[in-house]
Amino acid sequence: MPRSQQQGAVDDPQLVTTSEHVRVTVVDVELGAAPPVESGWQDEVRRLARAQDAVILAHNYQVAEIQDVADHVGDSLALSRIAASAPQRTVVFCGVHFMAETAKILSPDKTILIPDAAAGCSLADTIDADQLRAWKADNPGAVVVAYVNTTAEVKAESDICCTSSNAVDVVAGIPVDRKVLFLPDQFLGAHVKRVTGRDNIEVWMGECHVHAGISPADVRDRVAAHPDAEVLVHPECGCTTSVLWLAGTGGLPPERTHVLSTGGMVDVARAMTADTALVATEVGMLHQLESVNQRTRFLPMNAQASCRFMKMITPAKLLRSLREGRDEVHVDPLLAARARRAVEAMVAVGTPSVVGE
Ligand code: 13P
Ligand code: SF4
């Protein structure tokens, strides 16, 4: 059974779980080698983007070639902000579908393209709008905080969205006497509970198959092999609790342990002087870290942590996107209007992380 179909329990005894609601679907997409692309494709992408008044955004997990040709590279929150404020009429979103859909929700009058609309997200697939409505009915008056890794339908049922970079700030801004329903990532939810110290948070038991697969055993082995390394961990990881446990019990120096969004990792890496850093997130992240810091050797905590959905965006598909205007993202206007309240509330919270140009 794939990791993402297991009802993984977080090793946090305080976590209130809702495992009876869990539905996990994993779209298993077979990845072959990237299709061949004409030489000089980067110049052609830049020419087409200029001619079509398009801005190209790339998430930190994209393949290196896509990151290098994009106008902006960043985390989910930073890219949402850029998609909303960019002057161009067209946004080509090199990431996964919920990211492009969020851009459309924020900018309904812009043309939003994703080079392959089949690039989904196993975490976003762990909850649908019917399940959320049932959860809300069981918890009247609770505030629903939805991670941005959700569909437009789920966002429309939510009070406020968040990303990994502002989840703690979003929850901290909710009155302490209001119960919070946090969805859909159990590891990010456990992290938010731990940092805010709130015990009135219920967490949906979803997980990302890539991050859940980075295990406490990976951390133990890698830290033992590189005892002086800095440790960067995305809060979606299955190992987050054990990393913080190690940091709290002397197994890792707390000052060398950082739980961060992908954009936060880039910010920390810029000023890093360590010889080695261990990185617990999707492996595409290493490219941005290496481009902002050539002193430090960035090593994956688990080299298998590759998101097959992110890797569906290839140079050939980016070219096709600009040439053929595909795949255009549409969101029903009434649904988008309901989802926009929650997404705009998210964009207003937290400090923007630095974006690679
Ligand atoms: P960030 O918001 O940190 O970029 O993470 C997005 C994501 O999909 C993590 O898997
Ligand atoms: Fe979704 Fe996980 Fe891929 Fe991020 S890494 S896009 S959460 S499947």
Whether residue 350 is predicted with pLDDT greater than 60 in this model: the reply is yes
Name residues contacting ligand 1 (CB within 6 A): 60, 75-76, 149, 163-165, 208, 236, 261-262
Whether residue 353 is predicted with pLDDT greater than 90 in this model: the reply is no
Look at residue 330 and give its three-state secondary structure: coil
Tokens of 160: 């406020």
Tokens of 113: 């393209």
| In the chain, % of residues over pLDDT 90 | 79
pLDDT score recorded for residue 9: 32
What is the residue-averaged pLDDT of the chain?
89
Q: How confident is the model at residue 29 (pLDDT cuts 50, 70, 90)?
A: very low
Q: What is the largest distance, in Å, between two alpha-carbon atoms of the chain?
A: 60
User: Mean pLDDT lowest for which of 108-122, 155-169, 175-189, 245-259?
Assistant: 245-259
The CATH code that applies to domain 210-300 is 3.40.50.10800
> What are the residue ranges of CATH 3.40.50.10800 in the chain?
3-123+309-334, 126-207+340-349, 210-300
* Minimum CA distance residue for ligand 1 atom 6: 76
User: How far is the C-alpha of 260 from the C-alpha of 283, rounded, in Å?
Assistant: 15
Whether 10 and 190 have beta carbons less than 8 Å apart is answered as yes
User: How far is the C-alpha of 41 from the C-alpha of 36, rounded, in Å?
Assistant: 11
User: Mean pLDDT lowest for which of 3-7, 93-97, 229-233, 324-328?
Assistant: 3-7
Q: How confident is the model at residue 226 (pLDDT cuts 50, 70, 90)?
A: very high
Task: Identify each DSSP E strand in 114-236 by its residue range.
Answer: 143-147, 160-162, 180-183, 201-203, 230-233
CA of 97, nearest ligand number: 2
Q: What is the mean pLDDT of residues 24-35?
A: 46
Whether 214 and 191 have beta carbons less than 8 Å apart is answered as no
pLDDT score recorded for residue 242: 79
Q: What is the mean pLDDT of residues 200-216?
A: 95
Q: How confident is the model at residue 12 (pLDDT cuts 50, 70, 90)?
A: very low
Tokens of 3: 């990791």
Atom of ligand 2 nearest to the CA of 211: 2
- Ligand 2 pocket, residue 121 CB under 6 Å: yes
Q: What is the mean pLDDT of residues 323-339?
A: 97
pLDDT score recorded for residue 317: 97
Whether residue 236 is predicted with pLDDT greater than 80 in this model: the reply is yes
Atom of ligand 1 nearest to the CA of 210: 10
**DSSP symbol at 299:** E
C-alpha of residue 255 to centroid of ligand 2, in Å: 28
- Ligand 2 pocket, residue 98 CB under 6 Å: no
Global pTM value: 0.89
Whether residue 33 is predicted with pLDDT greater than 80 in this model: the reply is no
C-alpha of residue 141 to centroid of ligand 2, in Å: 30
pLDDT score recorded for residue 32: 54
pLDDT score recorded for residue 201: 98
C-alpha of residue 132 to centroid of ligand 2, in Å: 20
pLDDT score recorded for residue 244: 85
Q: What is the mean pLDDT of residues 280-303?
A: 98
Q: What is the mean pLDDT of residues 137-145?
A: 98
Give the fold, CATH level 3, of 3-123+309-334: Rossmann fold (3.40.50)
Query: For a pocket test of ligand 1, which of 77, 149, 306 has the largest count of ligand atoms closer than 8 A to its C-beta?
Result: 149
Whether residue 6 is predicted with pLDDT greater than 70 in this model: the reply is no
C-alpha of residue 209 to centroid of ligand 2, in Å: 7
260 closest CA partner among 274, 287, 277, 281: 281
Whether 125 and 24 have beta carbons less than 8 Å apart is answered as yes
Give the fold, CATH level 3, of 126-207+340-349: Rossmann fold (3.40.50)
Atom of ligand 2 nearest to the CA of 121: 1
Amino acid present at 354: V
Atom of ligand 2 nearest to the CA of 95: 6
pLDDT score recorded for residue 356: 61
Look at residue 223 and give its three-state secondary structure: helix
Whether residue 95 is predicted with pLDDT greater than 70 in this model: the reply is yes
